[in-house]
A = this chain, B = another copy of it.
Amino acid sequence: MRARVLVASCILLALWTSFGWAQGRAAAPPQVRSPEVGADRRVTFRVMAPGATEVILTGEFMTGSKPLEKNSQGLWSITIGPIEPEIYNYNFTIDGVRTIDPNNPHVKTGSTPSTIASILEVGAGHPAFYDAQPVPHGEIRTHWYESKALNTVRRLTVYTPPGYDRDTRTRYPVLYLFHGANADETAWARFGHVNLILDNLLAAGKAKPFVVVMPFGYGVEPGSPPPGGGASSNTALFSRDLLEDVIPFVGSHYRVLGDRDHRAIAGLSMGGGESLEIGLSHPELFGYVGGFSAAVRAANLQQTFGGLTADLRSANKKLHLLWIGCGTDDSLFAANQGFSKFLEAANIQHVFRQSDGAHTWMVWRRYLNQFAPLLF
């Protein structure tokens, strides 16, 4: 909400700091508005760089890249659009160095530098399904817990639905929800707006209240070459943290229902690979499984999911929902389509949602908004 107001109304974002203000000092650098969203949803990007020879814009609102133009004062700018209402990532490349828009306070970060980007929010004039609205709000809670499996202190993000603290007798179903590669345990709250999406669904009576648990989805160091078995090794280590530390921690700290009929698992990209592998190999723990643009390792389907297909009757009886979604512009689309065909050939009941879009948070916010009403 604040982000929307800040970016969309484009007040003097920049450089006149209140620290200067408190002391009555004027700010040194000139004011540069970037990004500036017009009433027609055309967006102007600017950066003051008199010494630069080239400034290039890339962003999720367009394909490819576009050069900015320099004026006589050394201010580079470009206007594009109109742009559809959404939340987008973008970057500048200044003289060959990919970086953020230095005049935009909204920055996407994660566990590796490859995820760093500036955030552009274009409003529709009315709140979107992922915006803060005047409805009852849940909470985001952050725990520091000891992962005995990984021998470290790490963080865990938890969403509790509105009223969780007041109604101290109710026990809730729980969704374990994983981020993608290069992100961290804060990503679903910061960029996925998980809490606002669920608050809005609950207020509209479209979903049941449940707790969402978002762990740090790495067993190996982010960005490092995985030891030995690659993604499989990472998933195996993360799986130990999840099953041996996270789930018991949640069981002892939250009023959650502990049976498979009230436990779901889902994730995006790398986290989708994890949720499918862990979820489908533990039907005794998870009754609902989701993969959003999942990093399915297409070459190993039989090896990874052979256990599932071996006992078809049991699988279809136990799995209340197996939901797979992927955008047709996503480079993982073929792998997900292949996985759906593999399941189809084995007569495993599932939903394959083939949507517009690429490998972006726009897609994953929409998937969560479609997936959540199907749970519990």
Contact = CB atoms under 8 A, between A and B. Distances in A.
Interface of A: 1-2, 5-6, 11-19, 21-23, 47-54, 74, 94-100, 102-107, 109-116, 132-134, 137, 139-146, 152-155, 165, 180-182, 189, 195-196, 199, 216, 221-226, 230-231, 234, 253, 269-270, 273, 295, 297, 331-332, 335, 359
Nearest to A52: B95
B139 A141 contact: yes
Contacts of A22: 181, 231, 269-270, 273, 295, 297, 332
19 contacts: A11-B221, A11-B223, A12-B223, A12-B225, A13-B113, A15-B114, A17-B114, A19-B181, A19-B270, A21-B226, A22-B273, A48-B96, A49-B97, A52-B95, A52-B97, A94-B97, A105-B116, A107-B116, A133-B153
Contact of A144 (B49, B94, B132): B132
A330 to B, nearest CB: 11
A48 to B, nearest CB: 8
A132 B105 contact: no
B95 A51 contact: yes
A146 B134 contact: yes
Contacts of A222: 6, 18, 105
The 10 closest A-B pairs by CB, nearest first: A18-B181, A22-B295, A51-B96, A137-B144, A51-B95, A140-B142, A132-B153, A99-B99, A105-B113, A52-B95
Given A17-B114, A107-B109, 6 more contacts: A1-B154, A2-B152, A94-B95, A94-B97, A107-B107, A137-B153
A133 B2 CA distance: 34
A322 to B, nearest CB: 20
A99 B96 contact: no
A255 to B, nearest CB: 10
Contacts of A165: 253
Contacts of A113: 13-15, 102-105
A70 to B, nearest CB: 12
A223 B16 contact: yes
